[in-house]
């Protein structure tokens, strides 16, 4: 107990500080340097496959935030629904993934993207044109094992070359 009074505790703390002071940095200088994210990332938007979607609205009913709005019309001659409106308010979305998990036709995906910061809330409302699955919109492998198999392996900080073993 008496040793504590003579600064042993401070010396221990400083020893730990110096140990880390000379360690190679493992931080990432974002946005210049980017790591590959998890293949199952729940990115901050949704990706919608128009061709597979039947307009059943299961995703909208599963959403705890009420963030998905779907309006359909009936195409009687083809005995199917036409999706007139498919809109997601990303400002309300909590990226829980329940809509993606519940879609019976695998027509909805979480996004692989994680950069959707905007200055205005209304810019976070995504209409169907903005959600469409395309070459520029990479879906995440979350709840979609076939997509997951096509994505690159996640980079962990410890995997990087510049980190000393
Ligand atoms: S990820 Fe969750 S909160 Fe976001 S739209 Fe889907 S169900 Fe709703
Ligand atoms: S659950 Fe799937 S198929 Fe049904 S409306 Fe939503 S995205 Fe379309």
Which domains does the chain possess? Answer: 2-32 (no CATH), 43-148 (3.30.70.3270)
Report CA(8)–ligand 2 centroid distance (Å): 64
Q: Compute the distance between CA of residue 49 and CA of residue 99 in angstroms, rounded to an integer.
A: 13
pTM for this prediction: 0.82
Residue of 103, 108, 95 lying closest to 42 (CA atoms)? 95
Mean pLDDT across the chain: 91
pLDDT at 134: 93
Q: What count of Cα atoms within 13 Å lies in the side-chain half-sphere of residue 106?
A: 9
Q: Is the minimum distance from the CB of 68 to ligand 1 under 6 angstroms?
A: yes
Q: What is the DSSP letter of 160?
A: S
pLDDT digits (tens, 9 = 90+) for 83-112: 999 999 999 999 999 999 999 999 999 999
Q: Write out the two tokens for 162.
A: 């510049």
pLDDT of 55 above 60:
yes
Rg from Cα positions in the chain: 24
Report CA(133)–ligand 2 centroid distance (Å): 14
Q: Compute the distance between CA of residue 133 and CA of residue 144 in angstroms, rounded to an integer.
A: 14
Q: Is the minimum distance from the CB of 83 to ligand 2 under 6 angstroms?
A: no
* C-beta of residue 107 within 8 angstroms of C-beta of residue 46: no
């Amino acid at each position: 107990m008496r040793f504590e009074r003579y600064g042993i505790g401070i010396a221990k703390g400083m020893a730990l500080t110096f140990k880390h002071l000379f360690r190679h940095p493992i931080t990432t200088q974002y946005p210049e340097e980017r790591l590959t994210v998890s293949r199952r990332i729940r990115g901050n938007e949704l990706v919608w496959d128009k061709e597979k979607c039947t307009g059943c609205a299961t995703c909208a009913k599963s959403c705890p935030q009420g963030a998905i709005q779907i309006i359909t019309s009936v195409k009687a001659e083809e005995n199917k629904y036409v999706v007139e409106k498919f809109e997601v308010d990303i400002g309300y979305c909590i990226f829980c993934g329940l809509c993606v998990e519940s879609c019976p036709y695998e027509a909805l995906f979480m996004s692989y993207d994680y950069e959707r910061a905007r200055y205005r809330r209304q810019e976070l409302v995504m209409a169907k044109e903005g959600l469409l699955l395309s070459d520029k919109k990479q879906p995440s492998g979350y709840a979609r094992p076939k997509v997951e198999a096509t994505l690159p392996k996640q980079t962990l900080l410890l995997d990087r070359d510049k980190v000393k073993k």
